[in-house]
Amino acid sequence: MSHRAAGRGASGGRIWNEKKGRARVKDTADSYVTADGRTIGGVVMEMKNITLRFGGVVAIQDISFDIREGEIRAIIGPNGAGKSSMLNVISGFYTPSEGEVWYKGARRPQMKPYEVARQGIARTFQNIALFEGMSVLDNVMCGRLTHMKPSILSQMLWKGKAEHEEVANREVAERVIDFLEIQHIRKTPVARLPYGLKKRVELARALAAEPTILLLDEPMAGMNVEEKEDMSRFILDVNDEFGTTIALIEHDMGVVMDLSDRVVVMDYGKKIGDGPPDEVRNNQDVIDAYLGVAHD
Amino acid sequence: MPDQLLFAMEVTLNGLMAGVLYALVALGFVLIFKASGIFNYAQGVMALFAAATLVGIMDGQVPFSHLINATLGTDLHHFGWHVPALLAILVTVVVMIVLAWLVQRLVMRHLVNQEPIILFMATIGLAYFLEGLSDLMWGSEIKTLDVGLPQGINETIDQITYDMFGYGFFIDNLDIVATVIAGILVIALMAFNQYTREGRALRAVADDHQAALSVGISLNFVWVLVWSLAGFVALVAGVMWGAKSGVQFSLSLIALKALPVLMLGGFTSIPGAIVGGLIIGVGEKLFEFLLGPALGGATENWFAYVLALVFLVFRPQGLFGEKIIERV
């Protein structure tokens, strides 16, 4: 638990203007307090019997799990297990063939990705999807789009309310930038940044949306040890400071075990384990999936 | 000052003003191309359609009157009213927005993620469809468009330059108005692009679709928006050129003039479209003035294309286009 212990110590400033009261969604009797003093709330998102097929290929087979408010939930599994597909179902990029997605206690109808984003689910991508031609600040400001009101005329005239709104959004963006320690590259076009920093900018953009759930698709893929440690620290700090619910995919077992409160393990599109890291670590199916065992 | 130099100055001024109009047409292309990667061949026909619609509404023409008369045996031609120019322009803007929505809904939506060449072919089809629709709705005869813009030589400039140099510049009032309006439109579009929520969304979609979706931008909305903007730009261009030389089929050919502008300025750059337009405008007028007589005249017909060809060979991304880098 070294990462968590180290991460908890560092505390940055608040990102947003006012700390959002966590909307208790389900019965609060469910909530519990972790060993390091964070409160984990009720279920905010529930996947019920999700199946996803592409033609004859079954990417996800009848998987159910939930995400609780304020926790770091990891989805792990070997390559091709269907982790990214699951994240794409949550963020609306894929529509499940069967099963239901429940969000904040209500069944979510079929939705486009941008509608899901507007509901407060922000995400990053495995292969980084940034606006390469824009500066870091502009990218982060794009994360604020869901908080900007459409008022073409007043914005073009740049007066009163529109200006006030722009300033408020800018403030949040700047705080996120401070928090993730990327002030020195604020004005740099993203295309010029190294890989590790791009990943951080993408996290900043997602965070600027002040999401209810933050989805991270392999946040540490392709990073060196130092960058991985930085990223782990940022993920923990975000969760700790703002109570942001985080669901992340990772196949580096070590990192995941240190970071997360609960882990779902997938293999060949099926769920083979679900629970706290220590429990999952000793699960025979999980060990088999990772070390390889003859399937008969 | 020698006469030749004064004459060259006059030609340059005229060239600059023609250039602003070229830039305006090119802008319509850039808007759509940036946001959706579609090279909209129908841009010129959209200008024709917009101008014809404007004339039709102002004159109180019954749309599809020939078709209605032929099928029902009636004899309808005019509603018998005249709509003031400003109101007619507003109605035409609405028509262009509806058109944009229909194009997105019925054509482009079904072609998402297709090859650029397929999208391009679709816009060729759209061009012919719109041309036919324009004829069917408003008739194919040459129409005069008079929205009350001043025309003819600007006496003041003529007088001032005569007093200063002893040679009066011939500058058309219509060109001055067109330049001012185009200038305002270009500045407004750039401000829109830079400072509004929708402008930011537009730039985001131009950059990366997936990332745009993930920050809550509806691609469909942005595409309808750019087609509407392009329709509006086409309307302005159609009004300017229509007022100059009448609303007729050749109006749709101004789109061809925008091609060399785009090759100079780059397909993805708004400032590029403006600078490209100005270079082409001034270039072709000066070239005609300096070398026209020696080459047998009428160089304006081909100068722009030859210049574009030179650019294609030596700088294919244009002056301001995104640099083409291939990683190996």
3-state secondary structure of B219: helix
- What are the chain A neighbours of B229 within 8 Å (beta carbons)? none
Shortest distance between the Cα of A6 and any Cα of chain B, in A, equals 31
Residue B327 located in a structural domain: no
Tokens 């001034």 belong to residue:
B282
Q: Are residues A110 and A223 in the same domain?
A: yes
Residue type, B291: L
- The DSSP 8-state label assigned to residue B316 in this structure reads T
Q: What is the pLDDT of residue A153?
A: 56
pLDDT digits 0-9 by tens, A151-174: 555 555 555 666 777 788 889 999
Query: Hey, is B302 helix, strand or coil?
Result: coil
Question: Is A146 close to B204, i.e. CB distance below 8 A?
Answer: no
With beta carbons under 8 A apart, name residues in chain B contacting A141. 200
Does residue A262 or residue A11 have the better pLDDT? A262
Share of chain A above pLDDT 70, in %: 84
Query: Does residue B101 fall inside a structural domain?
Result: yes
State pLDDT tens for residues B208-223: 889 999 999 998 899 8
A96 touches chain B (CB under 8 A): no
Domain end point (choices A209, A229, A249): A209
Q: Is residue B323 part of a domain?
A: no
Same domain, yes or no: A42 and A84: yes
Contact list, B201 vs chain A (CB under 8 Å): 145
Is B260 part of a structural domain of the chain? yes
- CATH code assigned at A269: 3.40.50.300
Residues A36, B239: Cα–Cα separation, whole Å: 70
In a domain, A82, yes or no: yes
Chain B residues in contact with A113 (beta carbon < 8 A): 213-214
Show the tokens assigned to B138: 């408003």
Which of B34, B197, B225 has the most A C-beta neighbours within 10 Å, making it the best mutation to test the interface with A? B197
User: Which residue in A has a C-alpha nearest to residue B187's C-alpha?
Assistant: A156
| A132 in B contact zone (CB under 8 Å) | yes
Domain membership of residue B309 (yes or no) is yes
Question: HSE on the CB side for B146, CA within 13 Å?
Answer: 6
Query: Which string of DSSP letters, residue by residue, matches chain A?
Result: -HHHHHHHH-----SSSSPPPP---S-GGG-EE-TTSPEE-SEEEEEEEEEEEETTEEEEEEEEEEEETT-EEEEE-STTSSHHHHHHHHTTSS--SEEEEEETTEEPPP--HHHHHHTTEEE--TT----TTSBHHHHHHHTTGGGS---HHHHHHT-HHHHHHHHHHHHHHHHHHHHTT-GGGTTSBGGGS-HHHHHHHHHHHHHHT--SEEEEESTTTT--HHHHHHHHHHHHHHHHHH--EEEEE---HHHHHHH-SEEEEEETTEEEEEE-HHHHHT-HHHHHHHH-----
Task: Note whether residue A94 is domain-resident.
Answer: yes
User: How many structural domains is chain B composed of?
Assistant: 1
Residue ranges of chain B whose CB lies within 8 Å of a chain A CB: 188, 191-192, 195-198, 200-201, 203-204, 206-208, 210-219, 322
What is the model's pLDDT at position A295? Answer: 58
List CB contacts (< 8 A) between A143 and chain B: 215
Pairing of strands A98-103, A262-267: unpaired
User: Mean pLDDT of all residues in chain B?
Assistant: 86
Task: Locate the chain A residue with the closest alpha carbon to B191.
Answer: A156
Q: Contact A132/B210, CB-based, under 8 Å?
A: no
CA distances from B268 to A30, B193, B321 (A): 54, 13, 6
Q: What is the number of other CB atoms lying within 10 angstroms of the CB of residue A249?
A: 23
- If one counts every other C-beta atom within 10 angstroms of the C-beta of residue B294, the result is 8
What is the average pLDDT across A33-54?
A: 86
Q: How far apart are CA B169 and CA B13, in angstroms?
A: 9
Phi, psi of A218 (to 5 degrees): 45, 65
Same domain, A61 and A91: yes
pLDDT bucket at B77, cuts 50 / 70 / 90: confident
Of A189, A112, A175, residue with least CA distance to A143 = A175
Q: Which domain holds residue B100?
A: 3-314
Between residues B148 and A229, which one has the greater pLDDT? A229
Nearest CA-CA partner of B43 in B224, B257, B243, B311: B257
Q: Dig out the tokens for B301 from the structure.
A: 């017909």
d(CA A48, CA A63) in angstroms, rounded, equals 7
Q: Which of B198, B215, B221, B229 to mutate to test the interface with A (most CBs of A within 10 A)?
A: B215
Among B75, B29, B35, CA closest to B256: B29
| Within a domain: B42 | yes
**What's the pLDDT band for B296 if we cut at 50, 70, 90?**
confident
pLDDT > 60? residue B116: yes
Least confident residue range of A87-91, A280-284, A287-291:
A287-291
Tell me, yes or no, whether A146 lies in a domain: yes
Q: Which of A79-83, A243-247, B194-198, B245-249 has the highest mean pLDDT?
A: A243-247
Buried b (16+ CB within 10 A) or exposed e, B94-123: ebbbebbbebbeeebeeeeeeeeeebeebb
A104 shares its domain with A149: no
Averaged pLDDT for residues A92-114: 92
Band of pLDDT at residue A201, cut at 50, 70 and 90 = very high
For the residues A73-79, what does the mean pLDDT come to? 89
Is residue A68 within 8 Å of A41, Cβ to Cβ? Answer: yes
User: Are A225 and A276 contained in the same domain?
Assistant: yes
- For the segment B168-197, the average pLDDT, to the nearest whole number, is 85
Residues of B within 8 A of A212 (CB-CB) are none
Q: B217: nearest CA in chain A?
A: A114
- Backbone torsion region of residue A92, taken as left when φ is above 0, otherwise alpha when ψ lies between -120 and 50, otherwise beta: left
Task: Specify if B325 maps to a domain.
Answer: no
Q: Evaluate whether A242 touches A16 at the Cβ level (below 8 Å).
A: yes
Residue at A169 is within a domain: yes
Cβ pair B208:A206 closer than 8 A: no
Domain around A43:
26-120+211-296
pLDDT at B191: 83
Q: Assess if residue A159 is contained within a domain.
A: yes
CA B106 to chain A, closest CA, distance in angstroms equals 19
Which residues of chain B neighbour A211 with C-beta distances below 8 Å?
none
**Can you tell me the mean pLDDT for B307-322?**
82
pTM of the prediction? 0.82
pLDDT tier at A18, thresholds 50, 70, 90: very low
Q: Which residues contact B267 (CB under 8 A, 6 or more apart)?
A: B29, B30, B33, B34, B39, B318, B321
Res. A263 pLDDT band, cuts 50 70 90: very high
Count of the separate structural domains present in chain A: 2
Residue B328 placed within a domain:
no
Are residues A164 and A215 located together in one domain of the fold?
Answer: no
Residue B283: pLDDT above 50?
yes
Say if A236 falls within a structural domain. Answer: yes
Q: Say whether pLDDT at B18 is over 70.
A: yes
Nearest-CB residue to B214 (from A117, A132, A152): A117
Asked if the structure places residue A233 within a domain, the reply is: yes
* Residue A277 predicted with pLDDT over 70: yes
Q: Which of B195, B203, B211 minimises the CB distance to A158?
A: B195
Share of chain B above pLDDT 90, in %: 24
From residue B215, give the alpha-carbon distance in Å to each of A116, A141, A192, B25: 9, 10, 22, 32
pLDDT of residue B61: 85
User: Residue A156 and residue B214: Cβ atoms within 8 Å?
Assistant: no
pLDDT over 90 at B228, yes or no: yes
Among B184, B189, B214, B228, the strongest candidate for a mutation testing the A interface, having the largest count of A CBs within 10 A, is B214
> Are residues A161 and A230 located together in one domain of the fold?
no
Q: How far off is chain B from A167, nearest CA to CA, in Å?
A: 12
Mean pLDDT of all residues in chain A? 83
CA distance A158 to A156: 5
Question: How many Cα atoms within 13 Å fall on the side-chain side of residue B225?
Answer: 21
**A81 or A32: whose pLDDT is higher?**
A81
Instruction: Give the sheet arrangement for strand A245-249, strand by strand.
Output: A121-123, A213-217, A245-249, A72-76, A262-267, A270-275
Tell me the nearest-neighbour CA distance from B229 into chain A, angstroms. 13
Show the tokens assigned to A107.
Answer: 């069944």
Judged by a CB distance cut-off of 8 A, whether residue A154 touches chain B is: no
With an 8 Å Cβ cutoff, are A130 and B211 in contact?
yes
| Residue A122 contacts B where some CB pair is shorter than 8 Å | yes
Residues of A in contact with B198 (CB under 8 A): 150, 152
Give the per-residue pLDDT at B170.
Answer: 84
In a domain, A156, yes or no: yes
A137 and A33 inside one domain: no
More confident residue, B204 or A255: B204
Query: What CATH number is attached to the domain comprising B54?
Result: 1.10.3470
Rounded mean pLDDT, B71-88: 85
Higher pLDDT, A253 or B198: B198
Give me the percent of chain B exceeding a pLDDT of 70. 97
CB-nearest to A148 from B188, B197, B322 is: B197
**DSSP 8-class letter at B323:** P
When mean pLDDT is compared across A18-32, A202-216, B68-82, the lowest value belongs to A18-32
Question: Residue A24 — very low, low, confident or very high, per pLDDT cuts 50/70/90?
Answer: very low
A114 and A216 in a single domain? The answer is: yes
- Under the banding of pLDDT at 50, 70 and 90, the label for residue B52 is very high
The pLDDT value recorded for residue A85 is 93
CB atoms within 10 A of CB A136: 28
A123 DSSP β-pair partners: A215
B135 vs A158, residue with greater confidence: B135
- Is B214 in contact with A148 (Cβ distance < 8 A)? no
Q: What is the 3-state secondary structure (H, E, C) of B60-105?
A: CECCCHHHHHHHHCCCCCECCCCCCHHHHHHHHHHHHHHHHHHHHH
Q: For the residues A287-294, what does the mean pLDDT come to?
A: 75
* pLDDT exceeds cutoff 90 at B63: no
Question: Chain B interface, mutation test: which of A121, A156, A190, most B Cβ atoms within 10 Å?
Answer: A156
- Tokens 């479209």 locate to B273
* Triad A159, B187, B42: Cα angle to 5°: 125
Measured between CA atoms, the residue of chain B closest to residue A128 is B211
Nearest neighbour of A145 by CB, restricted to B195, B207, B216: B216
